[in-house]
Amino acid sequence: MQKRFMCIWFRHLLTDWIAIRRPELKDTAFVIAAPERGRMIITAASLPAEQQGIHTGMAVADARAVSMDLQVFDAEEGKAAKLLRMLGLRCIRYSPIVAIDLPAGLIIDITGCTHLWGGERAYLKEIILKLRDKGFDARGAIADTVGAAWAVARFGRISPIIAGNTQAAAIYPLPPEALRLEVDVLERLRKLGLSTIGSFMQMPASVLRRRFGNGILLRLRQALGFEDERLIPLIPPIPHQERLPCLEPIKTATGIEIAIQQLLEQLCSRLQSEGMGVRKAVLKCYRVDGKMVQVAISTSRGSHSVSHLFKLFGLQIEKIEPALGIELFILEAPKVEEIDPVQEQLWANKPGLEDTTLAELLDKLAGKVGANTISRYLPVEHYWPERSVKQAASLQEQPPTSWRTDRLRPVRLLARPETIEVMALIPDYPPKIFMYRGKRHTIQKADGPERIEREWWLEQGEHRDYYTVEDSDGCRYWLFRSGHFDGIDTQWFIHGFFA
């Protein structure tokens, strides 16, 4: 059977992901930037930003000269690989062989798969439209070789489906960049006026090798099908799941408890052998009437303790309505993590976040009051207060930097500063009175100002002058003035509360 491959190109992978998570940015110009040799350099730009002339490799300072309202986000190392892996795993339903093609593509071996979707055209349309519906600007192409499909997906202006044994004609008019060549090779080709693949494709191999090295010959042979290209397929994670069918329908809380106990023993035994622990578990109960009810638990750190997980599920049993009876229980662990072997030590001998007793206590509290009510925060290297902290994903996550202790900071920082009404203003002093949420506060003591400038490499705007103030009730607040003093037009905000 003739091999067939499909290549998918995500034109704006990273910026599309941000726009999906923050829909208000969909039609706005924004970029992702990373520091390079003392400057912030753009690593990805949204489509509206590109339409204004902003491109990858441009300095953020130059881009701001083009667009004053440009928003800048910090680059996250390895984010492209994580996104491609996520998208690749979703594409495994279309083919068992899916490979990541960094920095912004996927390669799928579709040999023998397309007839299930009614042919190659319907197959291509199905995948690309689903990706676009999710918010990704995706393009795809199908050919006999990875090289030809890759080239047409990115540079093709003809049909994205290349008929068998016609890859030479398909890549003939495309630029040399379509062969995935090194930058120095592309520069030499450009200097010699070889602007298309067809302009050098028929040259003798000895001439190409002498002038451009073996790399150009390898890419040509791969694209034309004379040499195979090895793929490293994604391996889907093995689901952590246990099933318990019932001979008789279960209707009582005691029966549900016994089922949970058995499932946890099986699941935890497997996880312990793999050195893994549960972070999230879902119990699905299939009833005789054909309906399914489910409950879920989450943990602060990975755990394979049957007793601890059973206690968490015990808080959820009352939410399970068995009706005429439950005939099948399925316990899934969609989120697990590696854990260290549990050490049986007293709290006094092992204090702090590493103590499993603390994690178990937090899990019990979360089960009663909700997981969203408990948070842990870590410091981040930013001067601007809103960016100086982030929410930790787990108890084990290590802070990227140490907490700042040279300046007094509030114990509670508002996610966004809130406006306040002020009275009795004096230049370079805090107000004597301010109104917050309908309550009048008379300031008795104040300390400041502390000026915090905006991070100019990320955004433009007014600076802030912060004051730590104490009212007549003894409550302390973190207030700031936006910009320089301008009489009654000066804007004041409250940003935090001290203990």
pLDDT tens-place string over residues 1-16: 789 999 999 999 999 9
Read off the pLDDT of residues 208-240 as tens digits, 9 standing for 90 and up: 999 999 999 999 999 999 999 999 999 887 789
Query: Percentage of residues in the chain with pLDDT exceeding 90?
Result: 65
pLDDT tens sequence across 99-119: 999 999 999 999 999 999 999
DSSP state for residue 386 in the 8-state scheme? G
- Buried residues in 319-353 as b, exposed as e (16+ CB within 10 A): ebebeebbbbbbbbbeebbebeeeeeeeeeeeeee
pTM for this prediction: 0.60
Domain 241-348 CATH superfamily: DNA polymerase, Y-family, little finger domain (3.30.1490.100)
Whole-angstrom distance, CA of residue 447 vs CA of residue 485: 17
Asked whether residue 499 carries a pLDDT value surpassing 50, the answer given is: yes
Residues contacting 396, CB < 8 A, separation 6+: 301, 353
CB 8 within 8 A of CB 105: yes
Domains 1-236 and 241-348 share a fold: no
DSSP 278-320: EEEEEEEEEETTS-EEEEEEEEEEEE--HHHHHHHHHTTGGG-
Per-residue model confidence (pLDDT) at position 456: 81
**Across all residues in the chain, what is the average pLDDT?**
89
Structure tokens at 150: 């890759």
According to CATH, the topology of domain 1-236 is Alpha-Beta Plaits (3.30.70)
Give the pLDDT score at 337.
Answer: 87
In this prediction, residue 355 carries a pLDDT of: 57
**Residue 198 pLDDT > 80:** yes
Report the pLDDT value the prediction gives residue 69, as an integer from 0 to 100: 87
Residue 345: predicted pLDDT:
38
Structure tokens at 53: 């002339």
- In whole angstroms, give the CA distance from residue 192 to residue 457: 40
The Cα angle at residue 148 between residues 142 and 151, in degrees rounded to 5 = 100
Domain ranges of the chain: 1-236, 241-348, 412-497
CA 328 to chain centre: 35
Contacts of 79 (CB under 8 A, 6+ apart): 14, 17
Asked if 363 contacts 277 with a C-beta cutoff of 8 angstroms, the reply is: no
Q: How confident is the model at residue 348 (pLDDT cuts 50, 70, 90)?
A: very low
Which residues have CB under 8 Å from 352's CB, separation 6+? 358
DSSP of 410-429: -SEEEEEEEE-EEES--TTS
